[in-house]
Amino acid sequence: MTAVTGAVRIGTRGSPLARKQTEMILRELRERHPSLEFVVQTIQTIGDRNTDDRISDIGDKGIFVRAIEAALLDESIDIAVHSLKDVPGDDQHPRLTLAAFSAREDPRDALVARCGGRLEDLPTGSRVGTSSLRRRAQLREARPDITVVDIRGNVETRLDKTLEGDYDAVILAAAGLKRLGLERYISEYLSPDHFVPDAGQGIIVVQTRTGASAQTLVGSIDDAKSRTIATAERAVAQALEADCRSPVGAFAALTGEELSLIGMAASEDCDVVVREKLKGPASDALALGHQLGHTLAKGLENRCLY
């Protein structure tokens, strides 16, 4: 592994949230490596180009990361910054590694209601926007009397569409709203016990080529707690053979050396939702996640059969 020479090139999406998250990572890297030069390159992904179709209909795993990973592989960038929840857990290229996990921001989903109030307060027939099958399933379970409508676009676009009256409410990741300074629009934080978030939600991940000098460089900002949490949550999705389009969620929390894990999975039509919980040693994060994922798969199969 050779030392870093020249400017370190960082690849990211061009959305305001992606740029903000890259700035956060860049600040940490500069604090630890003040003598190095960093340059940011914006890369457009399939998910950025196609803003009309449902994410679940685009038909490609990693629609928000593949183009950036390709730039890593052809060595036009040295570091990639992603929202962890956008990174598939089951098919990372062998030449790439997740070199650092950020400290976690608020992992919860958040309701932004045009007229304020909680999810339970929305009038019957309210139009609630989401692009996530996971959120759709849990919304329909909690409020079968509302209408769940597809919505695409970045955080600001979805927020504007709601405030302008196209939707009565929208579900967004609390982390993104907070990082963009838009927390004031949140009407309700949805409890992970009842509205399970996406695996890795609220965590920024930095990807490099395996064995490259950038891997060691980036490793200096790795958050061990986030890595453990992410390992458990992503293992749930791996066991379910899920990706970012699947109606699957997982949330882990650490108390000392004990890890608590909750997972959810839904049928493809989002009509059946199952949840399971377990606890165990944090050192067994991967195995616990796989165990919970298999339990969810069995529970979902049983529910769908009967």
Q: What is the pTM of this model?
A: 0.93
Per-residue pLDDT band at 5 (split at 50, 70, 90): low
134 shares its domain with 91: no
Residues with active-site annotation: 86
88 shares its domain with 43: yes
What is the tens place of the pLDDT at every residue in 285-305?
999 999 999 999 999 888 876
What is the tens place of the pLDDT at every residue in 219-267?
999 999 999 999 999 999 999 986 555 799 999 999 999 999 999 999 8
pLDDT greater than 90 at residue 1: no
143 shares its domain with 259: no
Per-residue pLDDT band at 270 (split at 50, 70, 90): confident
- Asked if residue 149 is part of any domain, the answer here is yes
- The pLDDT score that the predictor gives to residue 46 is 79
For residues 129 and 167, is the Cβ–Cβ distance under 8 A? yes
- The pLDDT score that the predictor gives to residue 58 is 62
102: Cβ contacts below 8 Å, ≥ 6 apart: 24, 25, 28, 203, 204, 205, 206, 221, 223, 226
Domain holding 127, by residue range, is 109-190
Residue range 271-280: mean pLDDT, rounded: 95
- Asked if residue 13 is part of any domain, the answer here is yes
Q: What percent of the chain is predicted at pLDDT more than 70? A: 92
Question: Using CA atoms, how far apart are residues 90 and 259, in angstroms rounded to an integer?
Answer: 22
What is the tens place of the pLDDT at every residue in 34-61?
999 999 999 998 777 766 666 666 656 6
Residue range 70-84: mean pLDDT, rounded: 97
72 shares its domain with 131: no
User: For 147-185, b where at least 16 C-beta lie within 10 A, e where not — what string?
Assistant: ebbebbebbeebbebbeeeebbbbbbbbbbbebbebeeb
What CATH number should be reported for the domain holding residue 180?
Answer: 3.40.190.10
214 shares its domain with 65: yes
